[in-house]
Structure 1
Amino acid sequence: MGVLILGLVLFLGVHSLSIVASGGRDRLVARLGEQPFKGLYSLASLVGLILIIWGYGLARQEPVVVYLPPAWLRHLALLLLLPVFPLLLATYLPGRIQRATKHPTLIAVKLWALAHLLANGMLADVVLFGAFLAWAVAERISLKRRTPRAVPALPASPRNDLIAVVGGLLVYGAFVVWLHRVLIGVSPVPM
């Protein structure tokens, strides 16, 4: 469990820089330069992600039951996960979805984490998904108080919404049918 927690602290810690010190990112960029900052940020994020994956795998080898969710919650989880990939794609494809949700990635993370908390009751699940849910809530609250930073983006288009929805649902279908089992080792639907 220690490796998982270390990975979460590193990964979410790097992603929380603007939450805990709103001007911290800007000061680091001014001191290091944009590209070196992005390189260090990416490296720390990657190391954190690797530790999360490794630590979660280790923790699943010695499961500790926190709660046993009823079977029907798996169906609710699958329903909550339906908009996750379209929202993730909408983050990078500006259109009405992005404009209406303001922060589609954070909504996607919240839905992903909540759905997994509803369907899984092991300690490693509670730690992993609970940490991501708490981070996404804190990040959203923090964003309301911060001055938005200009981010280069594609031009907004209704076509982007169509691509986000169709592409996202195709990725969701691939995850449900095949990818989740291949990447995570667990099928979200009994076969």
Structure 2
Amino acid sequence: MTGWTEYTLALTIFVASHFLPRIGGLRDRLIGAVGRRLYFSAYGFLSLTLLVWVIVAAGRAPYVELWPQAPWTRWMPNIAMPIATVLVFCGFGLRNPYTLGGKRDAIIDPEKPGFAAVCRHPLFLALALWAGAHLVPNGDLAHVILFGSFAIMAVAAIPAFDAKARRTLGNGAAPYFGATAILSLRPFADESWRAANARPLAIRTAIGLLIWTAALHLHTLLIGVSPFPA
């Protein structure tokens, strides 16, 4: 496949994979057949594989420059990605059913919101950081479409999920939004919050930074482009 064909196909299949399971209750039937854990494990692996394909296909697409890559722009992903990776590992299994990656059967306690006090949508924020930071040094048309689309979707998803939480919680929405935040560092100044969350947060942060370090050094091998500013 040459030209834009592979990129268009990869992007189309990736988008379709996120919408088709919702048509006609297909996702619910699959979950009923194989179980929730197996379904989402397989679905997550498929999504990650398709995402890698989209990124690789974008690199193979014809180069149509919209803005040049200045040397300083490569610092943007290197600054943002450690934060984004930590947010990802803090977001998986978050005791907040009203966000991506949160436990669907969890009942969030406004008195003990956990990491949701820092960020109630860490996966969406991580996706926005990843896409926005990579958009800056990649000013060709294929990558602008790729990273721009992901950044817009991630940012748009936050108010959409918050609106769903308001509808679901009703009168309980005010305590939920009062105890959580889009992004706040204030919980770190709260001694009781630190006492309850410091250990799991430290473990998840260490894992996130370890994975980021590995991804940084494997970036050239897997993506074909060096992430280092020099």
TM-score, L = length of structure 1: 0.73
Deviations 1:66-111 (A, max 9, x none): 1114322222332122201101101125484344211111100000
Paired with 2:147 and 2:127, the residues of 1 have a C-alpha distance of: 9
1:171 aligns with 2:194: no
Measured at CA, do residues 33 and 170 of structure 1 come closer, stay the same or move farther in structure 2, by a change above 3 Å?
closer
Q: How does 1:94-109 map to 2 (within 5 A)?
A: 94=94, 96-109=114-127
Q: How does 1:134-149 map to 2 (within 5 A)?
A: 134-147=152-165
- Tell me the SS of whatever aligns to 2:65: coil
Structure 1: segments with no counterpart, 5+ residues: 19-23, 150-155
- Tell me the SS of whatever aligns to 2:67: coil
Structure 2: segments with no counterpart, 5+ residues: 95-112, 169-195
Measured at CA, do residues 143 and 2 of structure 1 come closer, stay the same or move farther in structure 2, by a change above 3 Å?
farther
**Cross-structure match for 2:77:** 77
**Cross-structure match for 1:115:** 133
**Cross-structure match for 1:188:** 227
Checking the alignment, whether the CA contact within 8 Å between 1:3 and 1:54 is kept in structure 2 is: no
Percent sequence identity is 30
Checking the alignment, whether the CA contact within 8 Å between 2:10 and 2:54 is kept in structure 1 is: yes
The Cα RMSD (Å) is: 3.3
Report the CA distance between 1:137 and its aligned residue.
1.8
Paired with 1:5 and 1:144, the residues of 2 have a C-alpha distance of: 32
Larger Cα Rg: Structure 1 or Structure 2? Answer: 2
Paired with 1:45 and 1:186, the residues of 2 have a C-alpha distance of: 22
Paired with 1:80 and 1:49, the residues of 2 have a C-alpha distance of: 19
- Tell me the SS of whatever aligns to 1:82: helix
Report the CA distance between 1:139 and its aligned residue.
1.8
Checking the alignment, whether the CA contact within 8 Å between 2:84 and 2:130 is kept in structure 1 is: yes
Deviates more, 1:82-91 or 1:96-105: 96-105
Paired with 2:134 and 2:12, the residues of 1 have a C-alpha distance of: 20
Equivalent residues, number: 175
Paired with 1:166 and 1:183, the residues of 2 have a C-alpha distance of: 23
1:58 aligns with 2:55: no
Report the CA distance between 1:12 and its aligned residue.
3.3
Match of 2:31 among 16, 27, 34: 34
**Cross-structure match for 2:191:** none
Paired with 1:128 and 1:147, the residues of 2 have a C-alpha distance of: 29
Checking the alignment, whether the CA contact within 8 Å between 1:7 and 1:51 is kept in structure 2 is: yes
Paired with 1:189 and 1:123, the residues of 2 have a C-alpha distance of: 22
TM-score, L = length of structure 2: 0.62
Checking the alignment, whether the CA contact within 8 Å between 1:10 and 1:44 is kept in structure 2 is: no
